[in-house]
Structure 1
C-alpha cells in the first residue's frame, strides 16, 4: 500500500500498490531522504495509517512504536525512548525527548495528548539527537509533520467522522485550494467530545483545533510556507484511581477521612461520640469494587483548561550550490490545572463534602516559545554533503507555574509562589558527510550551545516571608557525532556511530532552592537496514549502548521551610550516578502478497540505575532507598508488536481486516519503586480493525484494548494511580475529494 509523502495530504495516499513496500521520505536529518538511507534508527507512522486507525492524539500514535513508552501525567504525558525520559514537570527540567511540530520545538507535555489531525507523518528518532536537535533530545526526537498545501489547481480534501462508546463524537476535515502552480492554501480542523471512561467522569474530552497554511512560490528558487495553528481543550482532566491492595494498609491519608461525622451536631464535637474513626480501614471504597476505572467518591475530579497557538514561517531559497532555510516560530501554551490526586475532597473534620475545595490546588502555566533556525544544506551529488545551522530559542514562563497554599507538617499554613523567568538557548551546529567510495561514507557533526534559565520563589509561613529567592543558571555544552555507513548491497546499508546528548540542569521547587546537575549521555550504536525480495520485505536491526551521567529523577522529600523549624513536603529533583543502558531492536515490515501487510518488532532493553539514594518518603516512611542496580522506570526488558492486515476485493472496493498486539514484560512506572502499585505487570494490548474503501469513500470500525485491561502509567502515594483507557470501539466514515 502506498504511503503518504512529504507535502502530500493523507487523502492522497491511495492503496494502489497491491504488492510490495513503498519508499518513505523523511526529514530526520533536516533534509529530504529515504528512511532506509538515513543512518539512524527511525520509526515512521504515516498520516494514512493514523487516519485509518482513528488515532486521535499523539499518545495513541506512539504507543505501538518500538522502544517507546508513554507515561501519563497530570498535565499531558511524557515520552520515554529506550529507557530515556523524564517524569519531571517541564517547568523545572527539559523533557528528555524533543517534540518538534513542523520543525518548531514545543517543550510542554500537554502536546503529547493534543489533537492529531491532517498529519503527513510522525517520525520517531531513537537515540540522542544532540547535534541537530539540541539539549532536549538526549533520548531522541519525535517529529510531527502536518500536511502542506499542494500546488495543484483545484479543490481537494477530506472529511471524516467517528462515533463510539463513552458518547464519543468526532469530526475532522481538510480543504486544499490550489490557486495556481505558485499559490495554494490549506485549512484543516477537528472537533471532538467524549465522556470520561472513569465513573467519576474524568478523562473526558472536549477539544477542537484549527490550522491554516499558505504555500507561496514567488520565484522558481524561493518558497514561503506560512502556518497558524490553534488548539483548545477543557474538561475534568485526569484523575487518580485506587491501587488494588489498599485494604488494611491505608495508613495515609487518615485521619483526614472519618466514618462517624455527624453534620447535625452544632456547637459540639463534630463526631458521633466525640472520637474520630478512620474512614477507610479496609482500603478505598470504590463505586464498583474491583473495577480499575471506578473511583471512590471522595476523589472528585478537578478541571483543565488548555489553550495553545503557534505561528510560523518557513522560507526555502535554492541558491544553486545549497538550499537556505529560515524558520522563525512563535508558540504560546496556557495551561490551567486544578486537582487533588492525593487528598481528595474532604478536609479534616469537614465531613463528606465531595466537592472541589481548598485541597484542590490550582496551577496555571503560561509558556511562550520564540525561536528561529537558519540552515544551509548542500545540493548536488558530489562526495561532500553538508548542513550548517544557527539556532536561537527564548522561553518565557509568563504567569506563575505555582501559586498555592501550603500546610507545614506542624500545622502552620502559608503560601508558595513560584515564577519561571525567561530563559534562552543559542547554538551553532553542523554536520558533514564525505563519500570515500561509492559505498562507504563518513559523517561528523558538532553543536556548541549556551543555555540560560532562571526562577524566583517566595514562601510565606505563619505570616513570615522567606523573601524572594532567585536562581539562575548558564551552562555551555558541546555535542558531537561521528559515524560511518556502508552499502552492503543495493538495498542494504550498515551504519555505526557514536553520538552525545545533553540536558540542562536546573532547580527543584524547594525552599531554599536545591539545584540539580545537567545530564550527559554518550551513545554507541550499530545497525543495518535491508530491503529484500523485490521490496516486499524490510528488516532493520540495531544494537546500542548508552553511558549516562547524572540521570535526573524526581521524588518527594520532607524539607525545612524558613527558620521556624517547620517542614513541608516538596518534589525534589536528584541525579543518579553513572548509569549504563544497552539494548537491541528488530523491525520487520512485509507486503509479500496482494493487499497483505505484516509488521512486527522486538525490543530488548537492559536499563538500570547507577548509584542513587531516594530519601525517606514522608508519605510511606520506608527509610532511605537505594536505586543502584534496579531497572529504570518505563523500561521493560522485552517488548514486541505484531500486526497483520489483509485486504480482499469486494464490489469494486477493498475490504481490509487488521489486528495488532503489543506485548510487554513488567516494569516500574516511578523511581519510587517501594510505592504500592509502582510495578506494572507484563501485559498484552490488542486492537482490531475493519474498513471498506471504495473510490473516495471509506467505512470502518476499530476496537481497542480487546483485553479490557488497565495499565498503570504513574503511581502516587496513598494507593493512587493513573491508568490507561478501557476497551473502546468506534465506527468511522470518510470521504476524499
Structure 2
C-alpha cells in the first residue's frame, strides 16, 4: 500500500502544473441561460459539504460544482448526464432506477436490500436510494458532486461519494422575477418550464416552479407488446421563506413529480440487430409518482452559533413492467410495484468560523420503509410463477461532530467522527412455482467512522490538504430465492487516504484542483446472481482487502470572452482474492468465497476490476461570447465527455457481454441573447453514438441517441 501511495503522490506532483477544479458561480435567480455575459475573472465557488458555506478552493474535498445555467449549457437535464461533466463518475440507467457510481463505488445491483454507496440530497434531505431518480433538473441553483467517502457529514452508505442538488430559494424583497422556457425537438419532443418569485411581505416570500415534457419513444418496437412507449412527465415545486428577524430563518419546500416513462425497452446483451429496433411481447410500463417536503429552520444565537433543523418527508410509488427475455419469442416477463415512505430529521449546532476553533455537532435519524403490494411483484414463465409481497423497513440513527483548530494562521487540523446504528428487516412472503417461503429476518449494524485532516493555506492562491478518513456501508438481507432463507451480508468498511492541491492562477482567470486517493476496503460488498434465477442478485462479502486508487484533476478558466472547463480521472481497482459462481455457466461442486477451490464454475476473481469502474474519464467544455452592437450576444458552446470501457459484472466475461464499451458524447449549442430573450439551438450526442447505458438481467439498455431542438427562454 505504501508503495502505491508514494507512486500516486509522485504522479500527482508531476501533473500539478497542468490540470484541476471544475466549478461555477451561484445560479441567477431569474433562470437566465448560459448565454449571459461572463465575468472577466472566475467568481468564488461556495459549497455546503461540511454543513456550512465554505469556499470550494479552501475546502479539503474533491468536488465538481455546477450551476443550473451551466448544467443546461452542458446538455445536462437529468442525473444520467452527470457522468459526462465530472471525473470518476458513471451512471447506468436501466429503467426503474439507476446505478450511480463514483470512483467505482455506488450500486451494482438494483433492489431494496442492497444499500447505495452514493447518496443524493435534494435541498438538504437524502432522497430515495436508487428509485425515483429520473426527476428532471429544473430551476436549479447548483449541483455538488463530492468524490470519495463522506463518512463524517453524510454518514453511512456514502463510501463512494455524495451528490447535493439545491433548487433556487425564494428571495425576500427580491421583487417579482422569474423565467419561462419552452423547447421543441426531434422525436416530437415538447417541453416547458418556468419559475416565479413572489415577495409577499418584508419578511416572507414564495417561489413556484414547474417542468413538463412530452416525447415519442426513442425505439422502434415490433411484436405484440402492450403499453404506450412515449414519455410524459410533469413536476411542480413550491418554496416558502420566512425571516421574521435577522436571527431566524424558516424555509419550506415541497414538490411533486409524475413521471410516465412508459417502459425502458431492451434486447439481449449479445444481439446483433440495431439496438433501437427491437421486438417485445410483454407489457411495457414505467411510472413514478412521488412527493417530497423539506423544512429547514436556522436560528443564530448572539454569539454567532447556529442551530439548524432539517426535517424531511418523502412518499412515492414506482411501477415497472418489462419483457425479460428481450424478444417476441419467449414470454418471460417481469413486473413490480414498490411503495416507499421516508421521514428523516437532522439537527446541527454550528459554531462561527472566525476564531481559532470551529466546530459542528449533529444528530440524524431516518426511517425508510418499502412495501411490496400483493400480486404486483411477479416474474417467470408462465407469468406469476414467482410472486413476492411484504415489507422492508430500515432505520438509521447517527451522531457526528468535527472540530477544526488553527495550529498557525495558515495551518488547520481537523478531527471528525460519526457513530451510526442501522437496522433492516425483511417481512417477505414468496411463492415460487407453488412452494411458499416466508422470510422474517432482522439485521443490525453499528460503526464508528472518523477523519483526520491537515490543511495548509500556503498563500491566497494555493491550498494543500491531506487526510485519512474511514467510511461504512451497512450490511443487509438478501432476497429469498430458491430453498431456505439466504444469509445476511456483512457491513463494508473503507479507509481513504487522500492528498490534494487547489490553486488560483493568472490574477483569478485560472483555477485548478489536483488530488490523489487510495481506498482500502474490508468486507467489500459484491453482487453475483443466483445460479437458479440469475435475474436476482445477492450480496456477498469479499473476505480479502479490495483496493481502489487513482488521480483526478480539473481546471476552469476565463480569458475575456472565452471560457473553458475540463476534468480528467484515472482509476485502478483490484479485487482481493474471492471465489464466486458465474450463474450463466453450469455449476458443480462447492464454491467457498474464501477458499474456492477454483474450477470452471468456481471462478477466482482476484485482481479483477470492480464493476462500473472505468480506468479513464475525461470531460471538456468551451464557449466564446460574440458581442454585437446593441448588446446582443451570440454564444456557441461545445462539450465532450468520455467514459472508458467498464465491466458490468465481476466475472469480466466478454463473450457473454460483460464489457460495456467506451462512451464518447459530444454536445453543442449556440445561444442568441437579445435583451431578456434567449434563443438556443442545441444538440446532444451529436455523433449519434450507439452506446450501452446499462446491462441488467442479460439485457442491454441503450443510452439516448442524437437529439436536437430549439429552446426559447424569457427572463423577467
How does the TM-score come out when normalised to structure 1?
Answer: 0.86
Q: In the TM superposition, what are the counterparts of 1:98-137 in structure 2 within 5 Å?
A: 98-137=119-158
Which residue of 2 is the match for residue 34 of structure 1?
55
* 2:627 pairs with 1:606: no
394-403 or 46-55, which moves further after superposition? 394-403
Q: Any idea what the Cα deviations from partners look like across 1:153-173, whole Å, max 9, x if unmatched?
A: 421001111111111111000
Which residue of 2 is the match for residue 681 of structure 1?
661
How far did 1:180 drift? 3.2
Which residue of 2 is the match for residue 575 of structure 1?
541
How far did 1:472 drift? 0.4
* 2:478 pairs with 1:493: no
How far did 1:194 drift? 1.1
SS, match of residue 243 in structure 2:
strand
Which residue of 2 is the match for residue 626 of structure 1?
604
2:183 and 2:712 in contact (8 A); partners too: yes
* 2:175 pairs with 1:154: yes
* 2:242 pairs with 1:216: yes
Sort the Cα spacing of 1:515 and 1:453 in 2 relative to 1 into closer, same or farther, 3 A. Answer: same
C-alpha distance in structure 2 between counterparts of 1:658 and 1:237, whole Å:
33
1:302 and 1:360 in contact (8 A); partners too: no
C-alpha distance in structure 2 between counterparts of 1:548 and 1:343, whole Å:
36
C-alpha distance in structure 2 between counterparts of 1:722 and 1:401, whole Å:
28
SS, match of residue 508 in structure 2:
coil
Q: In the TM superposition, what are the counterparts of 1:337-356 in structure 2 within 5 Å?
A: 337-342=320-325, 344-347=327-330
2:581 and 2:601 in contact (8 A); partners too: yes
* 2:358 pairs with 1:385: yes
Which residue of 1 is the match for residue 596 of structure 2?
none
Which residue of 1 is the match for residue 3 of structure 2?
none
Q: In the TM superposition, what are the counterparts of 1:644-663 in structure 2 within 5 Å?
A: 644-651=622-629, 652-663=631-642
* 2:567 pairs with 1:584: no
How far did 1:402 drift? 8.2
How far did 1:665 drift? 2.8
C-alpha distance in structure 2 between counterparts of 1:203 and 1:537, whole Å:
46
2:617 and 2:643 in contact (8 A); partners too: yes
543-552 or 5-14, which moves further after superposition? 5-14
* 2:281 pairs with 1:292: no
1:6 and 1:26 in contact (8 A); partners too: no
C-alpha distance in structure 1 between counterparts of 2:440 and 2:326, whole Å:
31
How far did 1:147 drift? 0.5
| Counterpart selection for 2:450 from 480, 502, 508 | 480
C-alpha distance in structure 2 between counterparts of 1:415 and 1:655, whole Å:
58
C-alpha distance in structure 1 between counterparts of 2:297 and 2:34, whole Å:
26
C-alpha distance in structure 1 between counterparts of 2:434 and 2:363, whole Å:
49
5+ residue gaps, structure 2, are: 1-21, 223-227, 588-599
5+ residue gaps, structure 1, are: 247-283, 348-356, 560-566
Give the number of aligned pairs: 671
Which residue of 2 is the match for residue 731 of structure 1?
710
Q: Any idea what the Cα deviations from partners look like across 1:418-466, whole Å, max 9, x if unmatched?
A: 4233221111100111111111000011101110110023333554433
1:64 and 1:662 in contact (8 A); partners too: yes
Q: Any idea what the Cα deviations from partners look like across 1:201-239, whole Å, max 9, x if unmatched?
A: 987421110000100012221010011110111132212
C-alpha distance in structure 2 between counterparts of 1:158 and 1:304, whole Å:
31
Which residue of 1 is the match for residue 337 of structure 2?
364
Larger C-alpha radius of gyration, 1 or 2?
A: 1
C-alpha distance in structure 1 between counterparts of 2:573 and 2:419, whole Å:
29
Sort the Cα spacing of 1:24 and 1:538 in 2 relative to 1 into closer, same or farther, 3 A. Answer: same
* 2:620 pairs with 1:642: yes
Which residue of 2 is the match for residue 527 of structure 1?
500
1:532 and 1:538 in contact (8 A); partners too: yes
Give the CA RMSD over aligned residues.
Answer: 2.5
Q: In the TM superposition, what are the counterparts of 1:190-269 in structure 2 within 5 Å?
A: 190-200=211-221, 204-244=230-270, 246=271
Sort the Cα spacing of 1:531 and 1:375 in 2 relative to 1 into closer, same or farther, 3 A. Answer: same
Which residue of 2 is the match for residue 280 of structure 1?
none
C-alpha distance in structure 1 between counterparts of 2:88 and 2:436, whole Å:
47
SS, match of residue 114 in structure 1:
coil
SS, match of residue 132 in structure 1:
coil
* 2:576 pairs with 1:597: no
Q: Bigger relative contact order, structure 1 or 2, given CA contacts below 8 A and separation 6+?
A: 2
Q: Any idea what the Cα deviations from partners look like across 1:72-126, whole Å, max 9, x if unmatched?
A: 2231212111111212224112111011101101133234321110000000111
C-alpha distance in structure 2 between counterparts of 1:192 and 1:203, whole Å:
14
Which residue of 1 is the match for residue 491 of structure 2?
518
Which residue of 2 is the match for residue 302 of structure 1?
284
